[in-house]
Amino acid sequence: MSTDIVDDSGRPQEVPGPFGAPVPEGEVEASLRADELNLFDSTAVAVSSVAPAYSLASTLGFIFIIAGVAYAGPALMLVAFVPVLFIAVAYFHLNRRYPHAGASYAWLAKLVHPTVGWYNGWIQVATSVIFCVAAPFLAGQYTLQLFNSLGWISDAAANNVWYTTFTASLFLAFVTFICIYGIRWTTNLQWILVLIEYIAVLVFSVGGIIKVAVSHPKGSSSFHAGWFWPGNIHGYEALAGGAALAVFFFWGWDTTVNLSEESKQSNRIPGQAAIISMFLLLFVFVLNFVAVEMLVPADQIANQGGNILFYFGEQFAGGWAKYVMIFAVITSTIATTQTTLLPAARISYAMSRDGVFPRLFGTIHPKFKTPATGTLVLAFIALIGMYGIVTFDSATNVTNILGYLITDLGVLVAIYYGATGLACAWAFRKAAFQKTSFFFTGILLPALAGLFMFWVGFEVIRQNWGSHMAPTVVVVALGIPLVIIAVVQTKGDFFKTKPIAYTSIEE
């Protein structure tokens, strides 16, 4: 027995196994491949999950529009970075005590209530599937644009949404295969994709800044420190909408925590990689925002919409640069789709392992040591979603699909990030005053960050109610009857388990 964790009545609780979850009978030997990822691998997965080239290509134009003025983008990045950083710190503290493939799902189930954990797990899986619907569209679109620019296909074919969807489905199939084949293959591919996209974005960003400093092209602007001032954001509604998109910008670093059971030093490395990746991402995003604002004329920033990254590349280096940026976005999209499917499969695997999700999601491939069946099922659901969107409205275009779904994704991410931040503060409440620094980093700041995330989600839903928030509303509402069904049908003691609290900071 352990006296380090207690339930709400003060009674000590027995410490669960190394990953805290029962293994279904008949699958005792089926497990993920342990001790596979080091700190560099985990950091590569975290930063590639966010995929700067993809995020910038799909969201940069929307950020500038929502900010209210052309030059408030860096301010929004900083406003979102601070709370998301402390959510990452919350992940570090919770993973340090309880490394688990389900991560936030498992923590909330253990520390708040099993139904809350299940609901949070549902939100995460659904969010990942929606993203796997949206992201391949961008890769498909830019692939056809590349073929068109090379003269291989016509303008009509490049803009055909059905051709785009078919190409996107091929990318999704490729990503699914790699995810199933093994975590080492996945990580090695991530290293390659990370180098391609980061080199492209960083070189172009630095080059753009140097070009403005040296030659002052027509329409360019000098750097202004005021671009970082949050007061330039026009109103709290713009703040909420922009913050939701900015949260989407940073979303993905938590993938490394979902791979904790496959990591070396599982209670340390995943959390460290998450925090390290946040600072790397901030640097890349802010550098590119500043470069765009310096080089691209103000009246063109919002007008370019989803093409702003390519327009920026052409302004920097001419027509050939668009090929580099197209390739960077394609590789970035592959990377982020892969590292979104990964945690979704791990979370559903963990929930199935606990007996509260369909059993097929809990099967591990005997050779590859991955949740192959669950990965395939989630990818197939995403594939149905891709063709469903186009079938429902064949007149839609990829830009509209991305614009609608990205806001929904930002809100859903804010919900489960917010829940995790509050869960960290709640979990360590009995150890809050053992160390002054921990009170701030483990209690106060994660709690405030969690509240900010919930405010962002509430405000964006309120502002857009009745318009394009249907995916968010459906996911949030559908989770209620689903968790009730899970409670009724679960035969084990999962939903009868009493929450615990940590009485000390250290293990």
Which residues pair with residue 6 across a beta bridge?
Answer: 12, 501
Q: From the centroid of its chain, how far is CA 292?
A: 24
User: Is 13 a member of any domain?
Assistant: no
Q: Specify whether the CB–CB gap between 51 and 333 falls below 8 A.
A: yes
pLDDT of residue 328: 86
**What does the pLDDT average to over 417-445?**
96
**What does the pLDDT average to over 454-471?**
82
Q: How far apart are CA 315 and CA 232, in angstroms?
A: 26
Q: Is 491 helix (H, G, I), strand (E, B) or coil?
A: coil
Q: What residues contact 294, with CB distance under 8 A and at least 6 apart?
A: 208, 209, 212, 220, 221, 222, 223
Q: What is the pLDDT of residues 152-180, one digit of tens each?
A: 999 899 888 899 999 999 999 999 998 89
Q: Specify whether the CB–CB gap between 268 and 289 falls below 8 A.
A: no
**What does the pLDDT average to over 446-467?**
87
Q: How far apart are CA 268 and CA 476, in angstroms?
A: 32
* In the predicted structure, residue 502 carries a pLDDT above the cut 90: yes
Q: Across the chain, what does the average pLDDT equal?
A: 84
Which residues pair with residue 502 across a beta bridge?
Answer: 5
**What does the pLDDT average to over 484-496?**
92
Q: What is the pLDDT of residues 58-117, one digit of tens each?
A: 776 656 555 544 567 788 888 889 999 999 999 999 999 999 999 999 999 999 999 999
For residue 424, give the nearest of 409, 411, 437, 439 by alpha carbon: 439
Confidence band of 507 (pLDDT split at 50, 70, 90): low
Q: What residues contact 154, with CB distance under 8 A and at least 6 apart?
A: 148
User: Is 3 a member of any domain?
Assistant: no
User: Is 28 a member of any domain?
Assistant: no
Q: What is the 3-state secondary structure (H, E, C) of 366-397?
A: CCCCCCHHHHHHHHHHHHHHHHHHHHHCCCCC
Q: How far apart are CA 338 and CA 139, in angstroms?
A: 13
User: Is 354 a member of any domain?
Assistant: yes
pLDDT of residue 399: 64
Taking each helix axis from N to C end, the angle separating 398-427 and 470-489, rounded to the nearest 10 degrees, works out to: 50
**What does the pLDDT average to over 187-207?**
84
Domain total in the chain: 1
Maximum mean pLDDT: which of 40-44, 275-279, 293-297? 275-279
In which residue are the tokens 């939903």 written?
495
User: Is 238 a member of any domain?
Assistant: yes
Of the listed ranges 36-45, 407-416, 462-471, the least confidently predicted one is 462-471
User: Is 432 a member of any domain?
Assistant: yes
What are the CA-CA distances from residue 384 to residues 177, 317, 377, 430 (Å)?
A: 17, 40, 11, 47
User: Is 494 a member of any domain?
Assistant: yes
User: Is 414 a member of any domain?
Assistant: yes
Q: How far apart are CA 187 and CA 200, in angstroms?
A: 20
The pTM for the full model equals 0.87
Q: How far apart are CA 23 and CA 448, in angstroms?
A: 36
Q: How far apart are CA 97 and CA 107, in angstroms?
A: 10
Confidence band of 40 (pLDDT split at 50, 70, 90): confident
In which residue are the tokens 């982020």 written?
336
Residue type, 304: Q
Q: 291: which 2 tokens?
A: 């470069």
Q: Is 263 helix (H, G, I), strand (E, B) or coil?
A: strand
Q: What is the pLDDT of residues 234-262, one digit of tens each?
A: 777 777 777 777 788 888 899 999 999 98
**What does the pLDDT average to over 138-150?**
87
pLDDT of residue 302: 65
**What does the pLDDT average to over 371-381?**
95
- Sign, Cα dihedral of 249, 182, 275, 94: positive
Q: How far apart are CA 183 and CA 369, in angstroms?
A: 8
Q: For the chain, what percent of residues have pLDDT higher than 70?
A: 87
**Higher-pLDDT residue of 389, 205:** 205
pLDDT of residue 18: 34
pLDDT of residue 130: 92
* In the predicted structure, residue 409 carries a pLDDT above the cut 50: yes
pLDDT of residue 393: 66
* In the predicted structure, residue 4 carries a pLDDT above the cut 70: no
For residue 233, give the nearest of 379, 73, 411, 381 by alpha carbon: 73
- Sign, Cα dihedral of 469, 483, 338, 148: negative
Q: How far apart are CA 221 and CA 503, in angstroms?
A: 54
Q: How far apart are CA 199 and CA 212, in angstroms?
A: 20
The DSSP-derived string for 164-191 is: HHHHHHHHHHHHHHHHHH-HHHHHHHHH
Q: How far apart are CA 103 and CA 344, in angstroms?
A: 11
Q: How far apart are CA 435 and CA 252, in angstroms?
A: 30
Task: Check residue 21 and report its DSSP letter.
Answer: -
pLDDT of residue 64: 58
Which residues pair with residue 500 across a beta bridge?
Answer: 7
Q: 395: which 2 tokens?
A: 């007149």
Which residues pair with residue 5 across a beta bridge?
Answer: 502
For residue 424, give the nearest of 257, 266, 281 by alpha carbon: 257
Longest dimension (CA), the chain: 72
Q: What is the pLDDT of residues 58-70, one digit of tens each?
A: 776 656 555 544 5
Q: 170: which 2 tokens?
A: 């091929």
Residues of the domain holding 445 = 39-502
**For the domain that residue 364 is a member of, what is the CATH number?**
1.20.1740.10
pLDDT of residue 15: 38
pLDDT of residue 85: 95
* In the predicted structure, residue 395 carries a pLDDT above the cut 70: no
